[in-house]
Chain A
């Protein structure tokens, strides 16, 4: 049955790891703004695509 004690401790440690990563996430501001990042990720794509168009254009010329 000794293994049960080990498992309990391990489960606690894993839970603690998640708790502290939650603290870290909160502290580093990841919950400050739940809207901008969802939009921002789309902008990056667009920027690349305009750059691509430009390079395409220059090769044609």
Chain B
């Protein structure tokens, strides 16, 4: 019964569109299929099933700004007589079929010379022939489902940083080489050839210099900065360890006493960098820094003395007349000068239904025009709008630089031990004091201890990422484990924008009326129409084809079925009156008003169970911008909920979190989209929920895939498990340190013992941390 669309793989709701014996969910999908099959790109469908992206109706002017020379120049990286090169950010790239299609796009658009996809960064490097029109090419990409994102220039400008790979390479090279040269020492045969030994010692010294100055430079710099501001971070003990190890080794080599611990030194730096690399690998393709500007247009149409011209957004000044077409975003607060307009404010308020404004009304930035084009007068410049204010207010980071208590204890412990052994040896043998103190510092070098954290957090980050929770950085794990309160947003978080509940109010419908309605709604791809079709289908109504159909954008649909005129849509569209704030679709057949469908977003499956599980450990708060209609439903389904507030504005939510924090609570906020942006930033940890993690990632600490919300307790549990792993690692590394220190303080620490003890301790920690994390994950 539920067939999947041949192009996009989505379940087909209602009557499928049949083309070439294949079933499609909408016209858009079948159009893309036609385009691809006409151009011999059918392989797109054999590489992966249902891999297509459902195209949206793009208006033909959408990319007109690309033909304005100044703007075009910004995106074109290179241009000569025959060709122009540019790199486009295409966020919908998601599978191997996408690569195939985009790299063969010249079959559709002969003006493309080459297209090279970078899957990880979701970009395509494109070479176009000179005569190609950028705007037409962008429109083609949009039509086949790969709408280029021009708002987010940062993503393109971000030059890949190879420094890190170089550092890792240098450390690895030094580690391997020095181990090879130190090999005789591992076997205890170093004394046979003192010349060779000193030769390899100097080689090690030479090779280790770039490791200290280049590979380890980030740690040393960070420690130096911390000390200068009289604070401590984890890099301080690491740097002390690195420097003590290095200084001792240099001294040993220069004084001709042996090869020192250069192998341990290089290995330590190498493992540290690998731990870091582990952490960075998971979220390479996610961008957490994208903000509202990514949704703002690059250029708008300005009406200057009756002439329409496309100008860059920065050039808009107060009083300018701007023309906005369907689907375009309002770039600045403005006054409406055309008669009426429908605006979708879902970015700002989370409310998916467009609102209707009249001439002279004030329009806030961030809304999206639906339907008829509108002319507005700018009331301020685009960077001072309400949205910007919400974002800027919450700019201050929630986490302050906290001095790492552990490293303070550790450092003081090591210093006390070193002092103690100095005092002991003062009485035993005055000449050996320096040697002993340095040995203590080296063995106490927190190699294993310092590796525990990056490796454990790196592994946990990867595991969480695989399960749909993407963390911005490893510190988020620590903050997650400390949270005492979880604040949920309702719309879009507890409820899903995909699933809707449809209820009918009004004169009872006969089956033939239902059939008529479902046949009309089936012709429309609007989400509300789909919801109604689906609902009627559940009641056993199969839509049929219709004679006449028209979609009035932003208002409703009308059509004829068996010679009856049917209208569905807004109250005003069918001539009814409604004062409700709910999402409604009113029905009129011929001249009779029948009633309305109320459409509510449905709660996610199992969401109440999730809240209840979480509620047993933490305090749960639910904040909603909606009216109180779901209050009893939530309260009765989740008995252990702490607080439940309705009618909250984005500022209220932020203030609420602020109050909790003032009471000393650690707050985890889970919300969606831009309307919760301020609250997400305010909270100790803000998790943005997203139906498509690659498309919508506001400035939060983490992103959770909407489907993974059901396993949130499990995810938090995994994150918490990092504490156990760390504990075990700490026990091991402290054991190693105790053994090492015993040798060092008693003056028995031979290079052989140190050479074996130190790398082995690091490797065990790496091993333990990785194995435990993966055991937990499975």
Task: Give chain A's interface residues, CB within 8 Å of chain B.
Answer: 1, 4-5, 8, 11-12, 15-16, 18-19, 22-23, 26-27, 29, 31-36, 39-40, 42-43, 46, 50
Contacts and interface: CB of A to CB of B under 8 A. Distances in A.
Interface string B157-186: 000101001100110010011001100000
Contacts of B133: none
B117 A36 contact: yes
Contacts of A50: 40, 43
A50 B47 CA distance: 14
B412 interface: no
Contacts of A42: 96
A36 B196 contact: no
A11 B166 CA distance: 20
B176 A15 contact: yes
A26 to B, nearest CB: 4
B99 A8 contact: no
Given A36-B118, A39-B96, A31 B165 contact: yes
B177 A18 contact: no
Contact of A33 (B120, B193, B199): B120
Nearest 10 A/B pairs, CB to CB: A39-B96, A36-B119, A35-B119, A26-B165, A19-B173, A33-B118, A33-B120, A22-B169, A26-B162, A15-B177
Contacts of A33: 118-121
A35 B120 contact: yes
A46 B43 contact: yes
Interface centre among B47, B117, B119, B200 (most CB of A within 10 A): B119
Most chain B CB neighbours (cut-off 10 Å) among A12, A18, A33, A42: A33
A22 B173 CA distance: 10
Do most interface residues of chain B lie in helix, strand or loop, or is the interface mixed? helix
A18 B103 CA distance: 32
26 contacts: A1-B195, A4-B193, A4-B196, A5-B196, A8-B199, A8-B200, A8-B203, A11-B177, A11-B180, A12-B207, A16-B173, A18-B173, A22-B169, A23-B169, A26-B162, A26-B165, A32-B118, A32-B160, A33-B118, A33-B120, A35-B120, A36-B119, A39-B47, A39-B99, A42-B96, A43-B104
Interface residues of B, number: 31
Interface in B468-507: none
B646 interface: no
A5 B760 CA distance: 29
Given A4-B196, A50-B40, A29 B121 contact: no
What's the dominant secondary structure at chain A's contact region?
A: helix
B120 A34 contact: yes
B546 to A, nearest CB: 40
Interface of B: 40, 43, 47, 96, 99-100, 103-104, 117-121, 160, 162, 165-166, 169-170, 173, 176-177, 180-181, 193, 195-196, 199-200, 203, 207
B119 A19 contact: no
Contacts of A19: 169-170, 173
A8 to B, nearest CB: 7
Contacts of B170: 19
A27 B100 CA distance: 25
Contacts of A46: 43
B99 A36 contact: yes
Contacts of A5: 196, 199
A43 B120 contact: no
